[in-house]
Structure 1
Amino acid sequence: MSINDKKIFKLGELFCGPGGLALGAISATIKDPDYKIIHKWANDYDLDTCNTYRKNICPNNPETVIYKDVRKLDIEPLGDIDALAFGFPCNDFSVVGEQKGFNGEYGPLYTYGVNVLKKYQPLWFLAENVGGLKSANEGKAFEKIKKDLINAGYKIYPNLYKFEEYGVPQARHRIIIVGIRDDLPCTFKIPSTKPYKHIDVSCKTAIEIPPIKKNVANNELTKQSKKVIERLSYIKPGQNAFTANIPKHLQLNVKGAKISQIYKKLDPSKPAYTVTGSGGGGTHMYHYKENRALTNRERARLQTFPDDYVFEGSKESVRKQIGMAVPVKGARIIFEAILNTFAGIEYESMEAHEQ
């Protein structure tokens, strides 16, 4: 007998993005096939992102994806949920940038997730943010967020997940907080990285095997100037515009900070560096062998989206969506651990976690 009678969990999502978390959730499976997560509703403030989510996650119920700024979203009519996922915007908590934290425009947006938790009291939640959240506002931001989640009625299990240790071909580090309602007799355990130790997480394997088909969506090449192509020809795999031996006329005129990811070519033998969603010239991620930026489809593979997952919008919009997503495979592993927790099924876990 399981420790909870609920087996099908209706999921609501705020800041849903293009559906990395959602696809991880609805594709999560455990030994007991009765346990599953289904989409109930989702919200995002970007129209292309909502269209991508509708097309791939809920094509038969497009109206369940609400295109609106969360600050203007009426949560009353959303409908009961058993679970909530919210990857609240990380702009002000990222290590890249000024780390404004609570003083920035996006800092307090997590409180909209807290409001939904208080209103609907779902059985569990998953909240996601960048690793830089820990140090924002001298660590006070993270402490305040944890306190507010506990006060909403949840036992919380925060952890810094290094997704490359879970079989994702990308060095992407994110804080994920799993919360279980505090009246439930369940204890979540951080899933172990051991089962994924022998998986090939090289970016070369992710991009090349199986080969990307010619007619696949979102695979257009980015146009590069002759000068950029020439500059890239001097950059070896793993090097960037500042560590490579580049002739003077092709060097970048940059004063101050020299960001290591500018015109950085991937190292084919390692996981990719973090896929990002914005930035000007030199930040598009560069192929290890060819003197060009990666296509959006190649970047989607590094985020473990399947090739038939079609992103809507312009090439730049798609680039942004992919960069903001949670890797599907990493999300699925965590959702499966949650399902196992509710089913009372033992799974391999980390012994200790940071509270």
Structure 2
Amino acid sequence: MNLTAVDLFCGAGGLSAGLEMAGFRVLAGVDLFEAAGKTFEATHPHATFIGKPIEDLTICELLEVTGLKRGELTILAGGPPCQAYSVYNHQRGMHDSRATLFREYLRIVEGMQPEWIVMENVMGIYSIAGGAAVRTIKDELGALGYDVKEKVLKAEEYGVPQERRRVVFIGNRVGAPVRHPEPTHGDGLIPYTTIKDAIGDLAPLENGQDLGPIPYATSPSGDFQRFVRGNRRKVANHAAPRLGKVNVERLAHIKPGGSWRDIPFELLPAGMKRAKRSDHTKRYGRMTWEGLSCTVLTKCDIHWGAYIHPEQDRAVSVREAARLQAFPDWFEFSGSKTDQYVQVGNAVPPLLGRAIGMTIFDVICEARTSPSLAAA
């Protein structure tokens, strides 16, 4: 089967990687972020990266780049920038220009007429303007002939070692059933992938240490490490961000599973000296080997979340953050360290993308073998 995909707002290409794992051929990715584009180009050599605002992307250009005709694309995927919908953005709302970028996605849908659509966004999209964005997405896709359903997916239920909730819209115009992937991990299923499963084989680092590509510390242990490592002998992007002296002093007091509450009062940041003990539960959090990561954001800033290594007095490296997002180690991130963390935090975890892609793949196969579905 010639199953194709185009990824709008592709970033470094986490969703694209997942779709490729599921058997789709990604033909193009579109994004404005230059460093992410370099990563995408390096990790998706058979796809074309289009680095421009989606507002400037024409249907003719996309058809020419992909070599397709209108209606031939299997999946149009994309996650319009989520900052306008995020609960971390206290000025969020429909007035934010980023909140209307999904209309550009809809314009591309109308022009390309893909068989399937996949959209991903943060939970905050449900509450913005009383759910107006969600209703508009479904109503306007419906007007274009698509049956669309949305569901909150938990990344950890698909093998990702992280608590991450995302709203995923899936739809099609071919009359096939619309399904979301069934969980593979959790109670009664495959055990969750723990932080130790994810990063336990990576070499120890000192605060601020950058040794370039380095060998693994141990042989691979478990399916996840075998998956991310493949046949590689060294790993890149594994460098510790440099924390200031006072932060290093704070870390020495925080036990696994602990947080800012473990820091002596005189060492707390001024603003946190006024905090209630019930507030800021993830701030200055140290991970535990047997737990799941908190949501990986565009900054693994210890002041905002549990991004302290389980044993070492440092923040997690880009590679460790990427592992917690289930990126394979052949995914090497371009740009400054700040750019790299942004690429990792903005991405759809590839294993979640794979689960979505495999579910659509299964429906397509069923439709091609079932006369009733094929006729629809």
Q: TM-score band, normalised by the shorter chain?
A: 0.7 to 0.9
CA distance in 2, matches of 1:106, 1:188: 28
Whether the 8 Å CA contact 2:237–2:333 is kept in 1: the answer is: yes
Matched, 1:237 2:259: no
Equivalent residue, structure 2, for 1:305: 327
Alpha-carbon shift at residue 262 of structure 1 (Å):
2.5
> Matched residues in 2 for 1:135 and 1:105: separation?
17
Q: Is the 8 A contact 1:93 1:99 kept in 2?
A: no
Q: Percent identity?
A: 30
Q: Judge conservation of contact 1:99–1:136 (CA < 8 Å) in 2.
A: no
1:168-196 deviation per Cα after TM superposition (whole angstroms, max 9, x unaligned): 10000000001111xx2310222221565
1:135 aligns with 2:115: no
Shift of 1:12: 1.2
Are residues 1:327 and 2:336 paired?
Answer: no
Measured in 2, the distance between the counterparts of 1:296 and 1:283 equals: 16
Alignment equivalent of 2:216, drawn from 213, 218, 223: 213
Q: Deviations over 1:198-252 (max 9, x none)?
A: 22421122111477727421111111222111101112222322xx232222112
TM-score (norm 2): 0.81
Is the contact between residue 123 and residue 165 of structure 2 (CA under 8 Å) also seen in structure 1?
yes
Spell out the pairing of 1:174-323 with structure 2 (5 A cutoff): 174-181=166-173, 184-194=174-184, 197-209=189-201, 213=216, 215-241=234-260, 244-254=261-271, 258-278=279-299, 282-283=303-304, 285-323=307-345
CA distances 1:104-123 after superposition (whole Å, capped 9, x unpaired): 12100011110111011110
* Structure 1 counterpart of 2:363, one-letter code: T
Does the 8 Å CA contact 2:15/2:350 hold for their aligned counterparts?
yes
CA contact (8 A) 1:99 1:137 kept: no
For the 8 Å contact 1:100–1:137, the answer to whether it is kept is no
SS at match of 2:262: coil
Question: Does the residue aligned with 2:12 lie in a helix, a strand or coil?
Answer: coil
The question of whether the paired residues in 2 share the 8 Å contact of 1:128 and 1:175 is answered with: yes
Q: Is the 2:193–2:292 Cα contact (8 Å) retained in structure 1? A: yes
Q: 1-side partners of 2:83 and 2:275: how far apart?
A: 22
Label 1:51 to 1:17 Cα distance change in 2 as closer, same or farther (>3 A).
same
Which segment is superposed worse, 71-80 or 203-212? 203-212
SS of aligned partner of 1:8: coil
Work out the CA distance in 2 between the residues paired with 1:222 and 1:194: 34
Q: Greater CA deviation, 109-118 or 211-220?
A: 211-220
* Secondary structure at 2:24 match in 1: strand
Q: Which runs of 5 or more structure 2 residues have no equivalent in the other structure?
A: 204-214, 218-233, 369-376
State the alpha-carbon separation in 1 of the partners of residues 270 and 172 from structure 2.
51
Structure 1 equivalent of residue 32 of structure 2: 45
AA partner of residue 74 (structure 1): T
Residue 78 (structure 1) aligns with: 62
Asked whether 1:19 is paired with 2:38, we answer no
Distance 2:296 2:102 in 1: 23
Aligned to 1:33: none
- Counterpart residue type for residue 291 of structure 2: K
Paired letter, 2:321: R
Are residues 1:163 and 2:155 paired? Answer: yes
Tell me the amino acid that sits aligned with residue 45 of structure 1: L
CA change 1:306–1:237 in 2 (3 A) is same
Q: Distance in 2 between matches of 1:204 and 1:320?
A: 23
Q: Which runs of 5+ in 1 are unaligned?
A: 1-6, 29-35, 347-355
**Larger deviation: 220-229 or 85-94?**
220-229
Task: Please report how far the alpha carbon of residue 77 of structure 1 lies from its aligned counterpart in structure 2 after TM superposition.
Answer: 1.5
Q: What secondary structure is seen at the aligned counterpart in 1 of 2:180?
A: coil
Equivalent residue, structure 1, for 2:224: none
Would the aligned equivalents of 1:14 and 1:86 in 2 still touch at CA under 8 Å?
Answer: yes
Q: What amino acid sits opposite 1:228 in the alignment?
A: N
The alignment's C-alpha RMSD in Å is 2.1
Amino acid at match of 1:18: A
Distance 2:288 2:130 in 1: 34
